[in-house]
Every structure is written in structure tokens, then in C-alpha cells.
């Protein structure tokens, strides 16, 4: 039975990946941080097969212990401070976890693997946010990185460090440059879930306003369940590498609002939406759209859920959640 260790198991992607690997017959382990993590119960309920190990990306020895106890064949580094807006407010913490945390886990894997550095395969959760002020459209693996947020800079560090460990030590270390991916499990701080939750409440007469920032930014949005499959496929390749994972379609926040409000029969959302500068960013990433040609050709990966299906999945799930009193 192959085994895998996931950092960030309590997050959106961690949960989907854990389910994906359990379904494939893996012995799945997760790193969980904090003395009483409120999301532990969620992991235990959704994926009871997972074994949890205390650890933190800022604490190298805790990662060494998790590796020793889990003995994984594959390590997926999904842990991060992942909210871009927050990264300006806490740039140091973001760098500590999202940048230097990658160095810690790479170093832990290298030391753990000993004489055979490629024995433990490694996945790094890189991000389209690294493209920032985009230098070409669409963005692919070779596009120059121009990050526009402390988060983007931290991810660029982790991305290059992953490549460096691959080239320096011969590790089987791959980096997935994933574009935005969403689901009913998306954190409520991200714009898609903020919208789907608000639309659910408005449709049920429980709210009448949604306050947002920039409505003109464009993102390449896919479904998280599809994207964790791409992560797994990367680690099954004989050679490690870097892959863009994206749908190749881009939509604005306004487009998202059109479809989300449309799901509950509201054609004109303007009366419900107010813009507040508090939600604008010091530097914006205006437009992202990925070229996932390499993932399609080498990994045989393609997205299965359309933008419209994704938005409606999220709105309907939130309506059910509100009705159930969650």
C-alpha cells in the first residue's frame, strides 16, 4: 500500500486530496498544527482513515518527526498562509510559512530520504499568483514570474527552492502552478465563496447586501476536486517537473456574480452589491488565464467541471447549508 503525507490537510485542497488518495488505496497521513485545531474534527469526520501528526511548517524538527512516523512514499506540501489580502498585513508570517516553510519541508524530506533523495516524491503547491503582473497571455510554465503580493513573492521562493532541490540533490520534486480552484469547501474569505454564501442568504431573505472590492479582476477558475487529481498525476511521472494546471478560460468577478445571482433567479444584482475600498488590494493581479497544455499532454489531465457548473455547485451547496443551519 503506498503512503502519503499531506501538509495543509485541514484546508480545501488537503481534504479533497486526502479523499482522492484514500480512494486510490493509499495510507494517508496529515500534518496538523496547533494545540487544539478547530478543523481536526472536520478531517476526522470526512476522512476518518487519515492519521494525523502534530507539526508546523515553521518547525523543522516537527516535520522530521512526522516523516519518521508516517514513512511516506509521497509528500504533498499544501500548507501555507494562502489568503493574498492577508499577506500584506502579515508579510513576515506569510514569508515564514509560505516561503521558508517550503525550505523546511524540502530539507526534512532530503534528510529523511538519506542516500536515495528521489525515494520520497515531493509536490509543491505553487500558484498562478506568482505571475502577478502578467508578462504574457496565457501563462505557461516558462512565463516570467512577476509577483504582486507578499504571498506571490513567498510562493515564487518556494517554487524556485523546489526546482533547486530537484537540480541540486536529484530529488523527485515537482511543482504544480495551479490557477484558482474553488468548491463548496472554499474558505469564506475568498471571493467566490463570499459571493456564494451571500447569494444563498439573499435568496432566502436573510441578507440584502454583499460588499466587495474590485469587480473587474479576471481569474481562471476551476474545481478543486479536479485539481488534486493533477497533483497526484505529477508524482506518478518517472521524472519530476513543473506543470500549469488551469482551465484556459478567464472570467471577471462580475461574470461570477451574473451566474451566481442567476442561479437564484436574480438577473440584476447591482442593487445588492456595494463596493468598498477596504476590499481593494495595494497591488492587483488584473487578469490570469493559464495554458495547461503540458499537463494535458504529459499527465493526461483535463478539467471536468465548467465555470457555470462550479458556480452553481457552490451556490446550491450554500443554500443547503443555510437551510440546515450550518
Catalytic positions, written as ranges: 127, 129, 151
Calpha distance 82→158 (Å, rounded) = 13
> With contacts defined by CB under 6 A, how many residues of the chain interact with ligand GDR?
23
Does residue 152 touch ligand NDP according to CB under 6 A? no
Q: Which residue has the cell 522530521?
A: 64
Q: CA triplet 129, 85, 34: central angle to 5 degrees?
A: 100
Calpha distance 94→86 (Å, rounded) = 8
Give the residue, chosen from 140, 214, 237, 252, that forms a contact with ligand GDR under the rule CB under 6 A. 214
Burial (CB count <10 Å: 0-12, 13-18, 19+), residue 109: buried
Which listed option, ligand NDP, ligand GDR, none, makes contact with residue 213 (CB within 5 to 8 Å by class)?
ligand GDR
Helices 12-23 and 224-235 cross at an angle (nearest 10°) of: 60
Look at the chain and count its residues: 326
- Residue 47 C-beta: closest distance to ligand NDP, Å: 13
- Cβ proximity to ligand GDR: between 29 and 128 the closer is 128
Stretch that binds ligand NDP, among 26-34, 195-203, 261-269, 300-308 (CB under 6 A): 26-34
| Element spanning 30, H or E | strand 27-32
Does residue 156 touch ligand NDP according to CB under 6 A? no
Calpha distance 101→60 (Å, rounded) = 8
- Cβ proximity to ligand NDP: between 31 and 210 the closer is 31
Does residue 139 touch ligand NDP according to CB under 6 A? no
Give the residue, chosen from 149, 174, 180, 196, that forms a contact with ligand NDP under the rule CB under 6 A. 180
Phi and psi torsions of 118, nearest 5°? -85, 0
DSSP-derived 3-state class of residue 7 = strand
- Cβ proximity to ligand GDR: between 253 and 295 the closer is 253
- Cβ proximity to ligand GDR: between 267 and 278 the closer is 278
Calpha distance 98→243 (Å, rounded) = 19
- Cβ proximity to ligand NDP: between 16 and 165 the closer is 16
Does residue 104 touch ligand NDP according to CB under 6 A? no
Q: CA triplet 143, 154, 117: central angle to 5 degrees?
A: 85
Q: Which residues form the interface with ligand NDP (CB under 6 A)?
A: 7-14, 31, 33-34, 37, 39, 56-58, 78-82, 97, 125, 127, 178, 180-181, 187
Residues in contact with ligand GDR by CB under 6 A are: 82, 84-85, 127-129, 179-180, 189-192, 194, 212-214, 217, 219, 253, 279, 281, 284-285
Amino acid at each position: 500500500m503506498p503512503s502519503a503525507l499531506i501538509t495543509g490537510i485541514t484546508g480545501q485542497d488537503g481534504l479533497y486530496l486526502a479523499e482522492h488518495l484514500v480512494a486510490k488505496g493509499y495510507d494517508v497521513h496529515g500534518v496538523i498544527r496547533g494545540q487544539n485545531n478547530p478543523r481536526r474534527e472536520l478531517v476526522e469526520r470526512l476522512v476518518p482513515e487519515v492519521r494525523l501528526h502534530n507539526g508546523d511548517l515553521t518547525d523543522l524538527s516537527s516535520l522530521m518527526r512526522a516523516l519518521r512516523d508516517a514513512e511516506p512514499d509521497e509528500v504533498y506540501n499544501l500548507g501555507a498562509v494562502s489568503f493574498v489580502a492577508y499577506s500584506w498585513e502579515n508579510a513576515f508570517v506569510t514569508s515564514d510559512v509560505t516561503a521558508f516553510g517550503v525550505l523546511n519541508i524540502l530539507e526534512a524530506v532530503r534528510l529523511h530520504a538519506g542516500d536515495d533523495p528521489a525515494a520520497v516524491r515531493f509536490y509543491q503547491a505553487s500558484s498562478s499568483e506568482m505571475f502577478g503582473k502578467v508578462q504574457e497571455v496565457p501563462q505557461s510554465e516558462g512565463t516570467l514570474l512577476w509577483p504582486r503580493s507578499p504571498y506571490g513573492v513567498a510562493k515564487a521562493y518556494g517554487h524556485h527552492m523546489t526546482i533547486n532541490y530537484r537540480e541540486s540533490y536529484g530529488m523527485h520534486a515537482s511543482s504544480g502552478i495551479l490557477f484558482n480552484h474553488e468548491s463548496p469547501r472554499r474558505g469564506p474569505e475568498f471571493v467566490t465563496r463570499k459571493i456564494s454564501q451571500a447569494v444563498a442568504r439573499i435568496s432566502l431573505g436573510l441578507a440584502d447586501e454583499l460588499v466587495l472590492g474590485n469587480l473587474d479582476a479576471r481569474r481562471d477558475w476551476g474545481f478543486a476536486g479536479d485539481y488534486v487529481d493533477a497533483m497526484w498525476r505529477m508524482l506518478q511521472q518517472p521524472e519530476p517537473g513543473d506543470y500549469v494546471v488551469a482551465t484556459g478560460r478567464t472570467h471577471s468577478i462580475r461574470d461570477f456574480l451574473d451566474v451566481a445571482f442567476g442561479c437564484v433567479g436574480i438577473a440584476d444584482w447591482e442593487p445588492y452589491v456595494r463596493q468598498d475600498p477596504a476590499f481593494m488590494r495595494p497591488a492587483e493581479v488584473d487578469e490570469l488565464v493559464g495554458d495547461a497544455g503540458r499537463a494535458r499532454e504529459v499527465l493526461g489531465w483535463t478539467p471536468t467541471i465548467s465555470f457555470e457548473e462550479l458556480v452553481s455547485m457552490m451556490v446550491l451547496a450554500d443554500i443547503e447549508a443555510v437551510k440546515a443551519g450550518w
